[in-house]
Each structure stands twice: as C-alpha cells, then as structure tokens.
C-alpha cells in the first residue's frame, strides 16, 4: 500500500451541506401536503382581500412571497436535478463498461454537442436497421467502426 492509498482510506469525504439541504427541500416540495399548504396560503391571502380593500400592500405580499420562493426553489431544485442526472450517467457508464457487447465509445457522450449526438443517433439507427434486416456481421462491423470513429473525433474536437 502506498502512502497515497493510506491517506485516501483515512480521509473522510467532505459533507456537502447544500446537497443535503437541496435533497431535503426537493423531497419536501414534492409532497402533496406541501401543495395543500401552498393552496391554503393562497386561499387565506385571497380571503383577506376584501378586509384589506384589495390594497396594493395586499397584492404586494403575495407577489413578493411567490417571487422569492420561486427564485430560491429554482436553484435548490436545479442542484438536486443536476446531481440526479450525474448519478444516472455514472450508473449508465458502469453498465456500458460491464456489458461485453456495449460500445465503450459512448461513455461520456453527455459531454458532446447537439450536432454530434444527432449524428450518433443516426449511426445507431443505421446499426439497428442493419441488425433487424439480418445484414452480415461485416456490414454491422463497418457501421460500428464508423460509429466509434465519429465518437472519438467528436470528443477530441
């Protein structure tokens, strides 16, 4: 065991408090009780309208509250969504690596641009069509080699 390995074993991963917070808020925000509370709050606000003569202050309260909550929730939910997407991508990459028939060239394809992804999709469609039509292994191999070449060139560019 190298000194580097020993230090890695004893070093605890840092706690990502924002990730913990965003997960908790995302879980809470998605529950039916949260929706009921939000509807209840709006109903109370609306019921107070006649008593406050539908004043500008009455309108400002709900406008300000909803704007602030929406603004903050965007960041919290986006953080949670990004981590979920990255975790899913890691899981898919693991499946690709462990499947002998899978194309390893697709690992990291999420970093490619839209045009490259569309080209890859077209090549995969051609490969599928060739397989469905029972074309020879040589034709499928040509498509696979072309596919790998496109992926490699897209990642380099």
Is this structure's pTM higher than 0.85? Answer: no
Q: What is the pLDDT along the chain (157 residues), one digit of tens a residue?
A: 455 555 555 677 788 899 899 989 999 999 999 999 999 999 999 999 999 999 999 999 999 999 999 999 999 999 999 999 999 988 988 888 888 777 777 788 888 888 888 888 888 888 778 777 776 666 667 777 777 776 667 665 5
Task: Quickly count: other Cβ atoms within 10 Å of residue 52's Cβ.
Answer: 13
Question: What is the rounded distance in angstroms from the CA atom of residue 144 to the CA atom of residue 150?
Answer: 10
Question: What is the rounded distance in angstroms from the CA atom of residue 46 to the CA atom of residue 59?
Answer: 9
The residues spanned by each domain of the chain are 16-102, 106-157
């Amino acid at each position: 065991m190298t000194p580097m390995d020993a230090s890695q074993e004893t070093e605890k991963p840092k706690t990502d408090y924002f990730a913990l917070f965003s997960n908790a808020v995302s879980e809470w925000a998605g529950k039916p009780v949260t929706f009921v509370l939000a509807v209840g709050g709006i109903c109370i606000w609306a019921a107070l309208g006649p008593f406050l003569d539908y004043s500008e202050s009455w309108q400002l309260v709900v406008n300000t509250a909803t704007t602030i909550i929406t603004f903050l929730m965007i960041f919290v939910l986006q953080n949670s969504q990004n981590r979920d997407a990255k975790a899913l991508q890691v899981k898919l990459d693991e499946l690709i690596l462990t499947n002998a028939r899978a194309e390893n060239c697709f690992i990291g394809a999420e970093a490619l641009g839209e045009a490259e992804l569309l080209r890859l999709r077209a090549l995969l469609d051609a490969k599928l069509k060739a397989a469905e039509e029972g074309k020879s292994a040589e034709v499928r191999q040509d498509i696979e080699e072309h596919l790998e070449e496109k992926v490699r060139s897209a990642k380099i560019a």
